[in-house]
């Protein structure tokens, strides 16, 4: 009998309790013959051959199966098959963080590509790794040490791969391959240092990472991006995002597919796998991964909403093993409903940072953000002090004043680019951004987009002003 799997090693991150060993009499839940080596939940024990040298041959001679692997691979394939979103020949970018779940995802894709013709995956994958070192103030030596671990793994996949630094400029496709300049690295470090809370830091990191991955996908012709979110991670994310005021976007933030970006669709094929299953699989099949610190690594439990929610869910899970699956099943039922009212439709504005449809009503925002905005503005040491004079979104100042910089989205702090950016953010992003002393150090591509939208909105407004008759009809239709 194969001995692989006797030693499970360290529990995976987020698996505080050691898993009970299967008893001698217990049989694999699938084949009912082999002795199980992996217990996912009480009663769900699977046999597995693992990838130990010599082990496979010995086990195969005994006529044994590898039910855990079959179960694991089936889940991955079923998730892709059920959703039928990825077409043969389509270029798919695998977002690999180095962590266990995304490493396992890359491995699953490699397995899928090596299958015989009937079962082979038919899309064309590439891998991307984002070097986030600058956000944590890592030295260049530390960062190149991480990259020295990352690159051989990427090379071993045999797939096309891309390693990009978070601070890399991305307006010019020509500059894709160039290493970031010291000034950009410094700017990004400064930006992250200036963020006052860990919660806002985590959100900002996530936002910038997503923007970069999407940019790379577009630049290299990928129409899908796969992320390695496990169901444990998504359950935590769902609860975290509720607490962050992102309730309206849960279906996008945690569902299988996320179409908010239009041309590039983000999919989450690992959303049926728990962290525990991922840890077992990676251990048994020696899936390589790289430890890269997160913003909250070593942070105390109450340091951020993310950390707190993670600790809460994982602790609850140890006492009530169906916690994660219950939360996760809820996420499956969420429907992406377009927003009603005049904001709905293709031309409806979306949040500059998270790209979700703006969930902020002009009427709401005056009350919801009045307090926080004035408090933030009073904290700002702006050369031109902007305090309580801020016009609430929705009310309009007299036309013709400072029109060139007008944001045109209802509010008229035309001389205040900061307020213009803020008005292009959803509720949650506005709350996060109030932990930034200034929005000026945001990456140039975000600021440029804000300006572009502002100008576009202004032109639209100008056109509307000229078409007074028609605009009445349009209002009735929309």
d(Cα 40, Cα 231) in Å, to the nearest integer?
A: 14
Using CB under 5 A, count the residues that bind Zn ion. 12
**Distance between alpha carbon 309 and the CA centroid of its chain, in Å?**
16
Token pair of 24, please? Answer: 């001698």
Rounded Cα distance, 416 and 130, in Å: 33
Q: Which is nearer to Zn ion, 42 or 475 (CB)?
A: 42
CB of 184 vs Zn ion, minimal distance in Å:
24
What separation, in Å, do the N-terminal and C-terminal C-alpha atoms of the chain show? 69
Most distant CA pair in the chain: distance in Å? Answer: 85
Q: Which is nearer to Zn ion, 354 or 450 (CB)?
A: 354
**Closest to 264 (Cα-Cα) out of 234, 220, 295, 315:** 220
Q: Which two tokens stand for residue 415?
A: 């001389």
Alpha helix stretches (DSSP H) within 158-249:
182-194, 198-219, 231-243
29 or 303, CB closer to Zn ion?
29
CA distance 102 to 76: 12
Q: CB 322 → Zn ion: shortest distance, Å?
A: 24
Per-residue binding letters, 14-53, with Zn ion (x by CB under 5 A): --------------x-xx--x------------x------
267 binds Zn ion (CB under 5 A): no
Of 231 and 426, nearer to Zn ion (C-beta) is: 426
* Of 180-188, 224-232, 347-355, 387-395: span binding Zn ion (CB under 5 A): 347-355
Q: Closest distance between Zn ion and the C-beta of residue 45, in Å?
A: 9
292-331 positions binding Zn ion, by CB under 5 A = none
Q: Which of 43, 26, 21, 15 is nearest to 277 (CA)?
A: 15
β-strand pairing of 265-267 with 161-165: unpaired
Residue 67 interacts with Zn ion (CB under 5 A)?
yes
Residue closer to Zn ion by CB (options 29, 147) is 29
Nearest to 429 by CA among 263, 206, 234: 206
Three-state DSSP at 136 gives helix
65 or 170: CB nearest Zn ion: 65
In the complex, least distance from residue 329 CB atom to Zn ion, rounded to whole angstroms: 26
The pattern of x and - marking residues 374 through 413 that bind Zn ion according to CB under 5 A reads ----------------------------------------
Q: In whole angstroms, how close is the CB of 38 to Zn ion at the nearest point?
A: 10
Going by C-alpha positions, the residue among 183, 192, 187, 184 that lies closest to residue 164 is 184
Cβ burial of 288 (10 Å; 0-12, 13-18, 19+) is: middle
Of 154 and 213, nearer to Zn ion (C-beta) is: 213
The rounded distance, in Å, linking the Cα atoms of 445 and 171 is: 6
Choose between 412 and 429: whose C-beta lies nearer to Zn ion: 429
- Shortest approach of Zn ion to residue 215 CB, angstroms? 18
Residues 193-222 that bind Zn ion (CB under 5 A): none
Q: Which two structure tokens, joined as six digits, stand for 338? A: 């377009």
Whether the Cβ atoms of residue 44 and residue 54 lie closer than 8 Å to each other: no
Instruction: Identify which range of 350-358, 367-375, 413-421, 467-475 contacts Zn ion by CB under 5 A.
Output: 350-358
Q: Smallest distance, Å, CB 426 to Zn ion? A: 3
* Residue 128, strand partner residues: 95, 162
What's the min distance (Å) between Cβ of 166 and Zn ion? 19
For Zn ion, give the closer residue by CB, 39 or 67: 67
Minimal distance, residue 432 CB to Zn ion, in Å = 8
Looking at the chain, how many residues does it have?
Answer: 478
Which of the residues 420 through 449 are near Zn ion (CB under 5 A)? 426, 429
Report 110-139 residues binding Zn ion (CB under 5 A).
Answer: none
Cβ neighbours around 117 below 10 Å, total: 6
Q: Is 354 among the residues that bind Zn ion (CB under 5 A)?
A: yes
Cβ proximity to Zn ion, 30 vs 75, nearer residue: 30
Considering the complex, what minimum distance in angstroms separates the CB of residue 412 from Zn ion? 22
**Contact residues for Zn ion (CB under 5 A)?**
28, 30-31, 34, 47, 65, 67, 351, 353-354, 426, 429
């Amino acid at each position: 009998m194969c001995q692989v799997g006797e030693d499970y090693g360290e529990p995976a991150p987020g698996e505080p309790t050691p898993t009970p060993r299967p008893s001698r009499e217990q049989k694999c839940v699938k084949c009912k013959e082999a002795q199980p080596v992996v217990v996912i939940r009480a009663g769900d024990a699977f046999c597995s051959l693992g990838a130990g040298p010599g082990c496979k041959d010995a086990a195969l001679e005994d006529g044994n199966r590898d039910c855990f692997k079959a179960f694991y691979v089936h889940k991955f394939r079923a998730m892709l098959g059920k959703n039928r979103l990825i077409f043969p020949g389509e270029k798919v970018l695998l977002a690999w963080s180095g962590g266990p779940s995304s490493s396992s995802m890359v491995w699953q894709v490699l397995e899928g590509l090596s299958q015989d013709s009937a079962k082979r995956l038919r899309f064309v994958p590439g891998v991307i790794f984002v070097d986030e070192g600058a956000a944590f103030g890592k030295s260049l030596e530390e960062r190149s040490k991480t990259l020295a671990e990352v690159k051989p793994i990427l090379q071993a996949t045999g797939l096309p791969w891309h390693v990009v630094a978070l601070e890399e400029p991305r307006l010019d496709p020509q500059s894709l391959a160039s290493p970031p300049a010291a000034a950009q690295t410094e700017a990004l470090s400064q930006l992250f240092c200036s963020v006052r809370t860990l919660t806002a830091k985590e959100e900002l990191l996530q936002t910038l990472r997503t923007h970069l991955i999407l940019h790379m996908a577009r630049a290299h012709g990928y129409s899908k991006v796969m992320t390695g979110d496990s169901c444990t991670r998504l359950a935590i994310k769902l609860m975290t995002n509720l607490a962050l005021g992102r309730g309206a976007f849960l279906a996008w933030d945690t569902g299988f597919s996320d179409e908010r970006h239009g041309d590039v669709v983000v999919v989450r094929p690992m959303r049926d796998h728990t962290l525990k299953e991922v840890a077992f699989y990676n251990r048994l099949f020696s899936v390589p991964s790289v430890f890269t610190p997160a913003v909250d690594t070593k942070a105390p439990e109450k340091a951020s909403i993310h950390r707190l929610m993670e600790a809460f869910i994982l602790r609850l899970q140890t006492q009530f093993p169906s916690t994660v699956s219950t939360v996760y099943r809820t996420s499956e039922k969420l429907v992406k409903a377009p927003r009603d009212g005049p904001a709905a439709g293709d031309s409806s504005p979306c949040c500059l940072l998270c790209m979700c449809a703006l969930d902020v009503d002009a009427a709401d925002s005056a009350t919801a953000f009045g307090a926080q905005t004035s408090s933030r503005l009073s904290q700002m040491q702006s050369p031109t002090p902007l305090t309580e004079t801020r016009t609430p979104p929705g009310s309009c100042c007299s036309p013709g004043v400072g029109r060139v910089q007008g944001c045109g989205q209802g509010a008229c702090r035309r001389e205040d680019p900061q307020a213009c950016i803020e008005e292009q953010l959803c509720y949650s992003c506005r709350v996060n951004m109030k932990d930034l002393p200034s929005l000026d150090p945001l990456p140039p591509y975000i600021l440029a987009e804000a300006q572009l939208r502002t100008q576009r909105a202004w032109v639209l407004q100008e056109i509307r002003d000229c078409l007074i008759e028609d605009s009445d009809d349009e209002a009735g239709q929309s």
